[in-house]
Chain A
Amino acid sequence: MDLLLLMKNSRLNQYRRCLKKYRQKDIRMSGTSKRQAMLHSVARVKPVYSYPEKLGGKIKQIIRVLEKAKLNTELSYGFLYSIDETCIPHNKNRVIGNIPFDYSRVIDGSICQYREKCKKVRNAVSERNLTLLKAIEDYLDRICTQLENDKKLNECEKRAAIGRLKSMKESEAQTLEDAIQRILFWNQIFWQCGHTLNGLGRLDKLFARFPLTDTSGQSLSHFLEILHRYYNFKSSVILGDTGQIIILGGTGEDGTYFVNEYTYVIMECLKKLKLPDPKILLRVSRNMPDKLLRLAADYIAEGTGSPLLSNDDVVIPALKEFGYLDSDACNYGVSACWEPLSIGNSLEQNNLTGVEFGQVLVSMIDDGRFKECKTFEDVLKLYLEKLDGHIKSILSHLDGIVWEQAPLFTLFWQDCLEKGLDITEGGAKYNNYGILSAGISSAVDSLLNIRHYVFEQKLLDLDGLCDILHKNYEGASEFQQLFIQRSDGFGSGSDEAIDLTVRIMDETQKRISSYRNRFGGRVKFGLSSQGYVTSGKKTGATADGRKNGDPFATHISRSDNGSPIEIMRFAGKLCYAGGRANGNVVDVMLQSSLVKEEKDRFLDYLKASIQAGFFQAQFNVLSYQQLVDAKAHPDRYPNLIVRVWGFSAYFRDVPEEYQDVLIRRAKECEGI
């Protein structure tokens, strides 16, 4: 069967709807046999590893996509960027994505050099790489010919564009504009060939060797605007979830902090553009220059939710302990949102499913043995037993995933060439998986409430608690209020809450630490997840006052109007080492009076929080009244941008349940 899909618009829309549904379901890890049967029917088929036949099909498919994709030769600010949204490959299996391509390979090298490299190795991957390089060259030639023939284009601009494109074949990039065109070209190929959530990597480092000129700022600004094109097509589950993340700054192996003029200029450009996408992850450290953190603070004050801060002082040691070499840990990037990985040499599929801490709690309450527990330790033991079963089912789900071959990634991953293996067959240097989690705060607060109100204050018994939760607090609003009003739960400075969270994280880590996937890779988890709404929807009432179907808290956050210091202190007390390093974002709502009127103090706050040791942090600076109004009158706020889970999006595009979470949290933050 030829797998290329050439679709008309109506069919494309239908396809995209299905795709979104598919992905939406896919992130809600549940292990339901029906869904798995639907999505991964091929999972039960033993993969065939013999090369030529197996790779042939995929290569053919990519070649056909590159041959058939319609080209739009209209130049944007002198650059070419063309994706044919109606011509994408159909994939039977799960597609590799959510990882940044290492653009240094195409900026600091040429197709010709790569071909020579491949010729030196004789194995199935090198053969395939040569075929693919030929197809890409043909695609490049087709673009250049079409540009040549386009009479409407400005001749001078056209010559420059063709020159830049052709130079990719023979030489490394000579100018910033060359580098930008190369990134755009390869980026369009990845999108065209069905890879999604394509990150952009460490752009300031990539551009470092090009001197900054008077026009560089403008070129970069145009580049970022161009990347924002095809916004709908690129968006995954929710509009805005494109995964186009730019990593800036970062601590090197020698402990010094890397920053250059591009770090500033790129951030300035995005700040001025006021676009939700592409987005920035700024690697921060106590060694970073104040000037850079101040710029980040100013950008945060804009209220677009960018940049997300990733604390190298915590992340790098955690990655080293997980098993990355020093050089790779220091060169980390992230998947589409926040999950750390080593750029350019890893398979790292970091968003495969999630640990449902909240759902585990409900399954514990539903277990007949729950009512028989005599002490809090008995309850905790039962919770951990349920967690154990849940994690086992997650790990078996991971084993069932069948990957669609990924010749494009394999082409540039050095280890794949040397091993002669596709990236989806263990060809990469690192072959780890990652899982997210949802509902940790509900689980911790529920367990603390059980300890306090059942075993210590004896305000109710476990039987009564089960009854209240099964009735979804119907007729028991006093207990719901009792459970909600505690201020010393998850995210507070209470040692009890910190200890319990650490314990649950440790137990999760223990249970995943011995796992090895079929490539020998490990798995890591983190306390962030896009599933806080979707997971909440399918989880019954919990003993923290949360009703059946209500969303869980966003990542590491507090539901009350606590001090922004407290949540940072809490996050700094958690342990993220080893298998706990798959993204742990503190999600903070801030009043605009702090970030806009008290800039020096806000800077102090950020610096001190880095020292306190958060793993990652993102900020929403929102006004409750504005959000309420924007929900009622979306037309009045077409450009209002908010941070959703790990990306920024236009508020009007965010599904209602996510809008409601933001409105509620803004209200709590303002103490209304």
Chain B
Amino acid sequence: MSGELYVSNIQRMSLHDGPGIRTTVFLKGCSLHCPWCANPENMDVENQLWFDESRCVGSNERCIFIKGCGRMIARDRRGAVCMENDILKCPMHALKPVARMYDVGKLEQKINQDRHYWMNGGGVTFSGGEPLLQIVRLEPLLESLSRSGVDICFESAMFVPERLVRIALKYASRLYIDMKILDPEECLRYLGGDVKVYLRNMEIVASSGVPFIVRIPLIRPYTYQEQNICLMEKAMDRYCVPYVEIFSCHNLGDKKYAMLGKRSTHCCNVTEMELQALAERFASGGRTVRVLRLR
């Protein structure tokens, strides 16, 4: 498996994950399990099957294309671990593995197709899941991109061992760091993460000199509550965070949860007015704040 990566998506012409036009590579596997996650397919490290009911053309529980693939079977198999050669060859791509295995060379070839578009600061962003979990296998690609002068960014939650962060810092021109729940108990309960690890990594990033932007998903009642906001402000002060991006999640991953056979957690949206008010509050600390509008 060495040098092979599970990639769930390659988004071409991404506009929100760094400067210029970017190619964003979504890597599978995460160290957290945020209840509001918009990319639940990237939580598990193992590859899974997902079933898109809207694509399935089977009738009377039978598939007209694949013998033995009834809709019931397909439904049952969603979310199951996808083994090697264990893919039902659904021509409609209704049942398919979440991620595709790439060796580093092939991934480089694939993303290099967009090279023309990486002008004026554009480049490649690695996201996920938690992209740093696969960074050791990713390193030859980072090395190669870096040699060719390609701008590299990471979007990370920073709940990973310190050594992985240090590898990322070797190559990154910029980091997007999520800031979620900073109360140790709640962080562990809701996200499964150790805040100490997060704060230590923030310390490393802040002292590295690599520019970073803090991204805050605002979800009531998890991240959007007064106590957590105060903790965030303190942390941002401590690490001298210059740039902050905030956004409301809008249950973006609902369809994906259904495809994985998982139940999504309904989160209450933060209103536009609340977003603006918080933006002003964060900005009053001398930070540049941007409100992202995700569609």
Contacting residues, chain B, for A569 (C-beta < 8 A): 113-114
* Shortest distance from the beta carbon of A480 to any chain B beta carbon, whole Å: 9
Determine if B122 and A604 form an interchain contact, defined as CB atoms under 8 angstroms apart. yes
From A453, A477, A611, give the contact of B116 (CB < 8 A). A611
Contacting residues, chain A, for B11 (C-beta < 8 A): 563
Question: Is A385 engaged at the interface, CB distance under 8 Å to the other chain?
Answer: no
Contacting residues, chain B, for A635 (C-beta < 8 A): none
Given A569-B113, A601-B15, A605-B21, also A481-B57 (CB < 8 A):
yes
Determine if B120 and A604 form an interchain contact, defined as CB atoms under 8 angstroms apart. yes
Question: Is B196 engaged at the interface, CB distance under 8 Å to the other chain?
Answer: no
Given A481-B57, A605-B21, also A563-B119 (CB < 8 A):
no
Number of interface residues of B (CB under 8 A): 23
Residue of A nearest to B23 (CB): A565
From B15, B91, B113, give the contact of A482 (CB < 8 A). B91
Determine if A565 and B12 form an interchain contact, defined as CB atoms under 8 angstroms apart. yes
Give the distance in Å from the alpha carbon of A611 to the alpha carbon of B120 in the complex: 14
- Contacting A at CB under 8 A, from B19-64, are 20-21, 55, 57, 59, 64
Question: Is B200 engaged at the interface, CB distance under 8 Å to the other chain?
Answer: no
Determine if B20 and A601 form an interchain contact, defined as CB atoms under 8 angstroms apart. yes
Determine if B20 and A453 form an interchain contact, defined as CB atoms under 8 angstroms apart. no
Question: Is B93 engaged at the interface, CB distance under 8 Å to the other chain?
Answer: yes
Question: Is A500 engaged at the interface, CB distance under 8 Å to the other chain?
Answer: no
Contacting residues, chain B, for A593 (C-beta < 8 A): 295
Determine if A482 and B57 form an interchain contact, defined as CB atoms under 8 angstroms apart. yes
Give the distance in Å from the alpha carbon of A601 to the alpha carbon of B92 in the complex: 35
Determine if A598 and B15 form an interchain contact, defined as CB atoms under 8 angstroms apart. yes
Give the distance in Å from the alpha carbon of A611 to the alpha carbon of B93 in the complex: 34
Per-residue interface assignment for chain A, residues 465 to 500, with 1 indicating a CB less than 8 Å from any chain B CB and 0 otherwise: 000000000000110011001000000010000000
Question: Is B117 engaged at the interface, CB distance under 8 Å to the other chain?
Answer: yes
Determine if B117 and A485 form an interchain contact, defined as CB atoms under 8 angstroms apart. no
Residue of B nearest to A607 (CB): B119
Contacting residues, chain B, for A457 (C-beta < 8 A): 89, 91
Give the distance in Å from the alpha carbon of A458 to the alpha carbon of B161 in the complex: 49
Contacting residues, chain B, for A481 (C-beta < 8 A): 55, 57, 92
Contacting residues, chain A, for B89 (C-beta < 8 A): 457
Determine if B65 and A600 form an interchain contact, defined as CB atoms under 8 angstroms apart. no
Contacting residues, chain B, for A42 (C-beta < 8 A): none
* Shortest distance from the beta carbon of A496 to any chain B beta carbon, whole Å: 15
- Contacting B at CB under 8 A, from A604-623, are 604-605, 607-609, 611-612
Give the distance in Å from the alpha carbon of A361 to the alpha carbon of B255 in the complex: 38
Determine if B57 and A563 form an interchain contact, defined as CB atoms under 8 angstroms apart. no
Question: Is A566 engaged at the interface, CB distance under 8 Å to the other chain?
Answer: yes
Question: Is B13 engaged at the interface, CB distance under 8 Å to the other chain?
Answer: yes
Given A481-B57, A482-B91, A601-B15, also A608-B64 (CB < 8 A):
no
Give the distance in Å from the alpha carbon of A258 to the alpha carbon of B11 in the complex: 37
Give the distance in Å from the alpha carbon of A605 to the alpha carbon of B122 in the complex: 11
Give the distance in Å from the alpha carbon of A477 to the alpha carbon of B58 in the complex: 11
From A485, A566, A594, give the contact of B12 (CB < 8 A). A566
Give the distance in Å from the alpha carbon of A607 to the alpha carbon of B119 in the complex: 9
* Shortest distance from the beta carbon of B264 to any chain A beta carbon, whole Å: 19
* Shortest distance from the beta carbon of B19 to any chain A beta carbon, whole Å: 9
Question: Is A18 engaged at the interface, CB distance under 8 Å to the other chain?
Answer: no
Contacting residues, chain A, for B93 (C-beta < 8 A): 485
Give the distance in Å from the alpha carbon of A601 to the alpha carbon of B17 in the complex: 12
Contacting residues, chain A, for B21 (C-beta < 8 A): 565, 601, 604-605, 608
- Contacting B at CB under 8 A, from A153-207, are none
Question: Is A121 engaged at the interface, CB distance under 8 Å to the other chain?
Answer: no
Determine if B91 and A604 form an interchain contact, defined as CB atoms under 8 angstroms apart. no
Given A482-B65, A565-B114, A600-B120, also A605-B91 (CB < 8 A):
no
* Shortest distance from the beta carbon of A138 to any chain B beta carbon, whole Å: 58
Determine if A604 and B20 form an interchain contact, defined as CB atoms under 8 angstroms apart. yes
Question: Is A549 engaged at the interface, CB distance under 8 Å to the other chain?
Answer: no
Main secondary structure of the interface of A (DSSP, over half): helix
Determine if A605 and B117 form an interchain contact, defined as CB atoms under 8 angstroms apart. yes
Residue of A nearest to B93 (CB): A485
Given A482-B91, A605-B13, A608-B21, also A565-B117 (CB < 8 A):
yes
Residue of B nearest to A613 (CB): B116
- Contacting B at CB under 8 A, from A45-60, are none
Determine if A563 and B13 form an interchain contact, defined as CB atoms under 8 angstroms apart. yes
Residue of B nearest to A562 (CB): B12
Per-residue interface assignment for chain A, residues 56 to 91, with 1 indicating a CB less than 8 Å from any chain B CB and 0 otherwise: 000000000000000000000000000000000000
Give the distance in Å from the alpha carbon of A604 to the alpha carbon of B13 in the complex: 11
* Shortest distance from the beta carbon of A177 to any chain B beta carbon, whole Å: 41
Determine if A608 and B116 form an interchain contact, defined as CB atoms under 8 angstroms apart. yes
Give the distance in Å from the alpha carbon of A481 to the alpha carbon of B21 in the complex: 33
Question: Is A37 engaged at the interface, CB distance under 8 Å to the other chain?
Answer: no
From B13, B55, B113, B295, give the contact of A564 (CB < 8 A). B13
* Shortest distance from the beta carbon of B289 to any chain A beta carbon, whole Å: 17
Determine if A604 and B113 form an interchain contact, defined as CB atoms under 8 angstroms apart. no
Given A481-B92, A482-B91, also A604-B117 (CB < 8 A):
yes
Per-residue interface assignment for chain B, residues 83 to 101, with 1 indicating a CB less than 8 Å from any chain A CB and 0 otherwise: 0000001011100000000
Contacting residues, chain B, for A563 (C-beta < 8 A): 11-13
Question: Is A459 engaged at the interface, CB distance under 8 Å to the other chain?
Answer: yes
Residue of B nearest to A477 (CB): B57
Residue of B nearest to A481 (CB): B57
- Contacting A at CB under 8 A, from B257-281, are none
Determine if B15 and A608 form an interchain contact, defined as CB atoms under 8 angstroms apart. no
- Pick the most buried of B13, B59, B295: most chain A CB atoms within 10 A of its CB: B13
Contacting residues, chain B, for A485 (C-beta < 8 A): 55, 92-93
Contacting residues, chain A, for B13 (C-beta < 8 A): 563-565, 605
* Shortest distance from the beta carbon of A495 to any chain B beta carbon, whole Å: 11
* Shortest distance from the beta carbon of B160 to any chain A beta carbon, whole Å: 30
* Shortest distance from the beta carbon of A198 to any chain B beta carbon, whole Å: 37
Give the distance in Å from the alpha carbon of A482 to the alpha carbon of B65 in the complex: 10
* Shortest distance from the beta carbon of A672 to any chain B beta carbon, whole Å: 11
Residue of A nearest to B110 (CB): A493
Contacting residues, chain A, for B117 (C-beta < 8 A): 565, 604-605, 608
* Shortest distance from the beta carbon of A545 to any chain B beta carbon, whole Å: 12
Contacting residues, chain A, for B92 (C-beta < 8 A): 481-482, 485
* Shortest distance from the beta carbon of A588 to any chain B beta carbon, whole Å: 12
Residue of A nearest to B120 (CB): A604
Residue of B nearest to A487 (CB): B93
* Shortest distance from the beta carbon of B61 to any chain A beta carbon, whole Å: 14
Determine if A612 and B116 form an interchain contact, defined as CB atoms under 8 angstroms apart. yes
Determine if B122 and A493 form an interchain contact, defined as CB atoms under 8 angstroms apart. no
Contacting residues, chain A, for B119 (C-beta < 8 A): 604, 607-608
Per-residue interface assignment for chain A, residues 194 to 231, with 1 indicating a CB less than 8 Å from any chain B CB and 0 otherwise: 00000000000000000000000000000000000000
* Shortest distance from the beta carbon of B4 to any chain A beta carbon, whole Å: 22
Contacting residues, chain A, for B57 (C-beta < 8 A): 477-478, 481-482
Given A601-B20, A601-B21, also A594-B91 (CB < 8 A):
no
Contacting residues, chain A, for B116 (C-beta < 8 A): 608-609, 611-612
Contacting residues, chain B, for A607 (C-beta < 8 A): 119
Contacting residues, chain A, for B59 (C-beta < 8 A): 478
Give the distance in Å from the alpha carbon of A227 to the alpha carbon of B291 in the complex: 45
Contacting residues, chain B, for A611 (C-beta < 8 A): 116
Give the distance in Å from the alpha carbon of A611 to the alpha carbon of B116 in the complex: 7
- Contacting A at CB under 8 A, from B99-118, are 113-114, 116-117
- List the interface of chain B (C-beta within 8 A of A): 11-13, 15, 20-21, 55, 57, 59, 64-65, 89, 91-93, 113-114, 116-117, 119-120, 122, 295
- Beyond A459-B65, A482-B92, A601-B122, list 5 extra A-B contacts (CB 8 Å): A481-B92, A565-B13, A569-B114, A604-B20, A604-B122
What 8 A-B pairs are tightest by C-beta distance, nearest first?
A478-B57, A563-B12, A608-B116, A608-B117, A565-B12, A565-B13, A611-B116, A563-B13
26 A–B pairs (Cβ distance < 8 Å), ordered by A = A453-B91, A459-B65, A477-B57, A478-B57, A481-B55, A482-B92, A485-B55, A485-B93, A493-B113, A563-B11, A564-B13, A565-B13, A565-B21, A565-B117, A566-B12, A593-B295, A598-B15, A604-B20, A604-B117, A604-B119, A604-B122, A605-B117, A608-B116, A608-B117, A608-B119, A609-B116
